[in-house]
């Protein structure tokens, strides 16, 4: 089986007045369809930096990232953005919902960027909203939703076009434990029933407990990979 995402000796170093910060230091990893993995590690260990490299938001220096077998090495910014849009769903820690758009429109926005004909929008969006328990909230604005509801909209938006992999940076960080638990159950069932591939970053023990693969980072390096 070929990897959805492959990292080959990927590094990201920042030059600072105080010296070089090795945020990600020579990491090689592969992620496959169906994975439910977490990047774990303390604050500053490189989780967000690595997710940004995997998602093509940032470029490795040095190293190579392959998305679905395609090297992102020599891609222009716009080619990379296109590839990202096709293959990857993002759930950011702060959700990044657009405040002036309703729940429905926030999800629709992704379809518009991808140039999907309007005619098929409802057929794509409504089943996803239903799956995430958001159908009744479809006309509300983000400011009229709880944190957990906003997080579900962010998930809806990330999965609506059935990306190869969904990346989520600290998906439970802003949620109380009950909401976090419901959300994790939902992601687990999306993984099992709808074959959505997930990669999280988290230091939440509950996220780590539920993951099938735990990749532990320290000082930008992988120190342990645990497969369950």
Ligand X SMILES: Nc1ncnc2c1ncn2[C@@H]1O[C@H](COP(=O)(O)OP(=O)(O)OP(=O)(O)O)[C@@H](O)[C@H]1O
Q: Is 14 in the site for ligand X (CB under 6 A)?
A: yes
Q: Give 163's DSSP letter.
A: -
CB 220 → ligand X: shortest distance, Å? 7
Strands in 70-71's sheet, in edge-to-edge order, are 19-31, 5-16, 64-67, 70-71
Nearer to Mg ion, 52 or 149 (CB): 52
Picked from ligand X, Mg ion, none, the partner binding residue 41 (CB below 5 to 8 A depending on kind) is: ligand X
13, 22 contact by CB (below 8 A): yes
CA–CA gap between residue 41 and residue 46 (Å, rounded): 8
Question: Under a CB-based contact definition with an 8 Å cutoff, are residues 174 and 147 in contact?
Answer: yes
Stretch of residues binding ligand X (CB under 6 A), selected from 40-48, 71-79, 81-89, 153-161: 40-48
Residue from 41, 89, 142, 163 in contact with ligand X (CB under 6 A): 41
3-state secondary structure of 36: strand
State the minimum distance, in angstroms, from the CB of residue 117 to ligand X. 38
1, 184, 203, 227 from 95: Cα distances, Å: 32, 16, 18, 29
Of the two residues 121 and 203, which places its CB atom closer to Mg ion in the complex?
203
| Comparison of 46 and 89: residue with beta carbon closer to ligand X | 46
List the single partner that 21 binds among Mg ion, ligand X, none, CB under 5 to 8 Å by kind: ligand X
Which residue's C-beta sits nearest to Mg ion? 48
Q: Report how far residue 95's alpha carbon sits from residue 173's, in angstroms, rounded to the nearest whole number.
A: 11
Q: Does 207 bind ligand X (CB under 6 A)?
A: no
Identify the three-state secondary structure at position 211: coil
> Which 8-state DSSP code applies to residue 61?
B
Q: Judged by CB, which is closer to ligand X: 49, or 150? A: 49
Determine, following the binding rule CB under 6 A, whether residue 49 of this chain makes contact with ligand X.
Answer: yes
* Burial label, 81 (beta-carbon count in 10 A; 0-12, 13-18, 19+): middle
Q: If binding is defined by CB under 6 A, does position 18 make contact with ligand X? A: no
Contact call for residue 48 and Mg ion (CB under 5 A): yes
- Chain residues that interact with Mg ion, rule: CB under 5 A: 47-48
- Chain residues that interact with ligand X, rule: CB under 6 A: 14, 16, 21, 23, 41, 43-49, 203
């Amino acid at each position: 089986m070929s990897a959805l995402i492959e990292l080959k000796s990927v590094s990201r170093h920042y030059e600072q007045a105080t010296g070089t910060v090795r945020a990600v230091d020579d990491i090689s990893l592969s992620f496959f369809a169906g994975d439910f993995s977490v990047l774990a590690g303390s604050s500053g260990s490189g989780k967000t930096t690595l997710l940004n490299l995997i998602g093509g938001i940032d470029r490795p220096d040095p190293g190579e990232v392959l998305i679905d077998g395609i090297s992102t090495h020599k891609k222009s910014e716009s080619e990379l953005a296109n590839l990202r849009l096709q293959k990857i769903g993002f759930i950011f820690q702060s959700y990044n919902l657009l405040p002036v758009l309703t729940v429905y429109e926030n999800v629709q926005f992704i379809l518009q960027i991808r140039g999907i004909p309007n005619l098929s929008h409802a057929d794509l969006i409504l089943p996803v909203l239903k799956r995430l328990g958001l159908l009744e909230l479809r006309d509300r604005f983000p400011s009229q939703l709880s944190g957990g509801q906003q997080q579900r909209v962010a998930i809806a938006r990330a999965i609506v076009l059935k990306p190869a992999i969904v990346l989520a940076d600290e998906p439970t960080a802003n949620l109380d434990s009950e909401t976090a638990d419901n959300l994790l159950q939902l992601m687990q069932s999306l993984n099992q029933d709808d074959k959505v591939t997930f990669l999280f970053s988290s230091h939440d023990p509950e996220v780590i407990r539920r993951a099938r693969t735990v990749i532990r980072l320290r000082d930008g390096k992988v120190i342990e990979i645990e497969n369950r």
